[in-house]
Structure 1
Amino acid sequence: MSSTVNEQTSLHQHDEHREQSGETLRLEALLQHQTDVMEMLAAGIPLQEILTHIITWMQQSDGEMIATISLVGQASAHPGTVCCTTPLTGKQGNALGSFEISYKSGRQPTPAELHFIRLVARTIVMVIEYSQRTTPTAIQMPQSRPVTQESAAERENFYQLLMDTPAVIAVLSGPQHVYILANKLYMETIGIERSIVGKPIREALPELADQGIFELLDDVYRTGQPFIGHEIEVGLDRKGTGVREPIFFNFIYQPIRDAEGKVIQILVHAIDVTSSVMQRRKAEQSEQQFKSFVAHSPTPIGIYVGRELRIRTVNDAILQAWEKDASVIGKTFREAVPELEGQPFFDILDKVYETGETYEAIEEKVMLMRDGVLSPTYYNFTYKALRDEQGEIYAVMNTAMEVTEQVKARQLLAEAEENLRNAIEVAKLGDWKINLQTGEAVLAERIQAWFGASPGETITLEEATACITDPSILTAAFQRAIQPGSDRIINVEYELTNFRTGEKRIMHTSGKIFLDDASQPHMAIGITQDVTEQRQRQQELERLVNERTRALSIANIELQEANKTLEKVNNNLEQYAYVTSHDLQEPLRKIKIFSDILQNRTDHTADIFTRKYLNKIDASVNRMTALINDLLNFSRLDKAENTFVLTDLNLIIEEVKEDFELAIKEKKVILTVSPLQQIAAVPLQIRQLFFNLIGNAIKFSRQDVTPTINISGHPVTATAISTHPQLNPSWNWYEIIVRDNGIGFEQRYAEKIFTIFQRLHTRDVYAGTGIGLALCEKVVSNHHGKIFATSIVNEGTSFHILIPIMR
């Protein structure tokens, strides 16, 4: 609270500084204007014209002001409501008239403005009295003509004008600047009783020697150019002690010329502004201290001025809270923080400015930018109206403290407590608390019900203990937990009997011992759960496990027997493979030989019928031979050698190209192979893979299109491999693509084509056994990889092989 008061005080001092700066400017203008008025008087300008000039000057100095001078015997011509009337009283106490001021807004003048108005009134009095003493003819400056009785009177009137002017006035004559006149204010300003008239200024005021004043006077006398000083510091020995006292002046050194235009005198016309300068400096110091306080305060602070609430002062803390920089200074609050649109804060600030009622918020939610994202934050903040000396609101000060972390922590705590309550309820737990020093216990209703208490009934700790089958189990658990050096954790199971129903339950109790300030066991807090059903299920599970263990032992024996049987089957399959490769192919070779003999012997004599069936016998023998060979190749893959070696894929493809040399030439196949990477593989199986894929591409080419086959490969990223769950993502993978422009197939058959004996075309159109692609799938599987196909009918097929580079 005291901090806020200090800030308010400093802000008032700032406004005093602002007011004092305005007063200094007004005094400086008054000094210049007084000089103008004296020149008008010396020139014989009529009184009414001079008064009109003063009114015009006053109203121009403040566009809101309305000024009127009413002389004695004249009615007031003021059209508005007069807020300030200053009597115009002569030196003899006689009434000369009144000086009336009002403001278009209806406001009252500030104290500084009142002081200024009184100074102007004194100037008006001086003008009126001087005009009453002189004739309307113009006054020539002294010594501009031979001295006569008339000119002496005029000079006297002029000097009297200077003496009556409400300013510090002196006239210095000649190059030595000899005082020929110094008015009362001048004498009061220089202090002590000095006799200065008739003395040069260097003799009269020797303390000015090192302050540049003499040099300024010399320069004005020499050049004839006036000098205007603003808040010039002059050190004067006002008490005659030899100690100079700093005085600040706004002044004019105005040259006075004779009839030939030669400078003969200097008019010193000054106003003492020491008070305003010192007050301003004090205000500046206070303002600087306040600005330093605001700038270095860890608390966000902002000051928004005027009805528009334009940002005048902000510190780094509030800029960081807004995620803004100093460019917001000068903008309205709405312009600076547009993300608050739709939130209540603009309206609240408007209301504070309109009513002056302070708004204080506690843990208010504010949506602010955090890392470029509009996020919820929480603040304790205050909007406080600031008032000027007239009590008018001119700004709103915003102080704040972010409490987002505290609010979120409390929300998390509340959520955790709610979750704990829900967990206790869902898990059917009962909480308890025991004062270990008094023995007082607080048991949840659910716990009391387990012991047999009716709803609303309370049982004591002794009554509950009596229901436990073996109380020593629970006592021992507590004793262990309170021992010095223990973890103070209670974890125990025991059996109890409901004293009302006789029902037995198995309970599990968990808790912790808490120590007092003397490190003595003070409180035990924990939860208890009925685990009767869990223990029953556990016992049942143990029984089932034992039974299954016995069953697994029997199954293991049966598995060993099955493995022996499987081994015999594998031996039989090997025997079958031998028979297939040797015994079955032997009759086929003889059939082939006998068929060839018959065809050769009947080449010219056989009729058409005989030749037709001999050709069919020959074709069937060839198909049977191919089928047996493909089956043998496929069966060998099941017991293929597992010797993986670094394999050059480019070399294997070159060998396969030689196998298809005649077919490639016959069909004019264009086969291109990009350089492929070496991989760890079984070379013979990889050769079978490419043999079948290239053979398929040649076989299923289109008749009216030149066959093209392109083989390429590239490493595969871990991200791409992750789309194939069956592949190990920790290995390095390589993709091989075999692409052709053949007849293609419908994509819905993409998986079906890898099934053994599966064909999409009849043997009459495309020869084959239906084993080739199944063999390819088997080879890739043996290499722990994957093969799949994409195809478009009459455009071609691409086979994709994903295979590890090294395992």
Structure 2
Amino acid sequence: MEQNIDDKTRLQAIINTAIDGIITIDRRGIIETVNPAAARIFGYEPSEIIGQNVKMLMPEPDRSQHDSYLENYHHTGIAQIIGKGREVLGRRKDGTVFPFLLSISEVNLQDKQIFTGIIHDISNLKKAEAALRESENKITSIIQAAVDGIITIDIRGMIEMVNPSAARLFGYEAQELLGKSINVLMPEPDHSRHDGYMHNYHTTGRKKIIGIGREVTGLRKDGTTFPFYLSISEVELADRKVYTGFIHDITQQKLNEEKLRRYAAELERSNLELQDFAYVSSHDLQEPLRKIQAFGDRLLTREHANLSDQGKDYLERMLNAASRMQNLINDLLAFSRVTTKSKPFVRVSLDKIVTEVLSDLEITIEQTNTDIQRTALPEIEAEPTQMRQLFQNLISNAIKFRKENTQPVVKIYWRSLQRQAHLTATPGDEQVEISIEDNGIGFDEKYLDRIFNIFQRLEGQKYEGSGIGLAICRKIAIRHGGDITARSQVGVGTRFIITLATKQPQE
């Protein structure tokens, strides 16, 4: 008898301390016992449950149908859940519904029949499953919507997954590629060699492309090829290994590179021709010009008295023409030297450069009573001599082309520019825009394209100059990763707008 009491006490202790809920009901469905875990799971005190019909712990439709379930079992003996276990829904005291695993056993005592239900709450498990499904769905959505192609293959090279972008890049429908060997997407010689590449890697472990990335050529369904950047990652799953390839189409990039290469070759050839021309200008052309000037000067000093008035006029015109030609040749040499004799880029204070230019122009500024209004300019990477040349030309032009009977005003100001949003890493991404604005005679903007061309002058012989100054300014601005343009109105004034990159590539 004592042994039975000890066993019963031990059994009761196990039931009371169990993590899972344990409930017993009689054949009518009335709750006889509830362990603390079951009461806690359903949000009740045990006393609130004992003596009540177990259907109080069920949501609809089970709540209304449970009596008939029991009745049907008693009449037919066909068990729907007894001895099997099933995932069902429970209803807490606060009305919330939750999932749990229910296993029911039937116990026939001497005088009655009872049913014992063991309740394992799986709410957290279900939440984890839902979170996992959501995570998997997100990953799938990202892969499916990715701009770049993504392909997964097994260790034999068979395609297991292809996202829409990859299928589109290669000209296939995704289902056409599944189960095919990856080498169908490769032209020769890679098509024939790929199996050997994989065998070599599996044998030696030496990586040729995995985890490294490389530019390769792809073969489309229609037989055409295209370049792409391929990066491959190796993934160890629970039972096997797979490889995922990320495919970034670089067709446009490669076309641009080839165009740039050809343009650079043409530019180099053009520059060599310009250097040759500059050499001819500086040596071969100047030699006969010096003779014209030398013998003209001798005529002027030694034979001047013997010349008629018309002869003197002819001589003076000849010497003036020779002088203009000398200036033209010198300006042409200056234009050619912008790139052929250029120096490396260094950090330059544009504000300091402008101060020096204004100092050089001090007498002209005083004589013309010009009002210079300036804001402090920034530092950039540039060639100081060319920056001085740029500002010298533009500021002296602003003073030169002033209106009569009006005080000249020259304004110098700037702002920062970003060529493309979010990009700042490459030289040329960030620029400064400098404006040099005057209140001078201005010009008709229909001539805008002409004024930056070599030898173009809009004002005829009224103003001195060869018409090369603005062409030099444009060449300097382009060499510094920018350009120059202007806004103008006749009789109102002109605003020259210069863009310069803040950083330059190393030459």
The normalised TM-score by structure 1 is 0.33
Bigger Cα Rg:
1
The normalised TM-score by structure 2 is 0.49
Question: Which structure ranks higher in relative contact order (CA pairs < 8 Å, sequence separation ≥ 6)?
Answer: 2
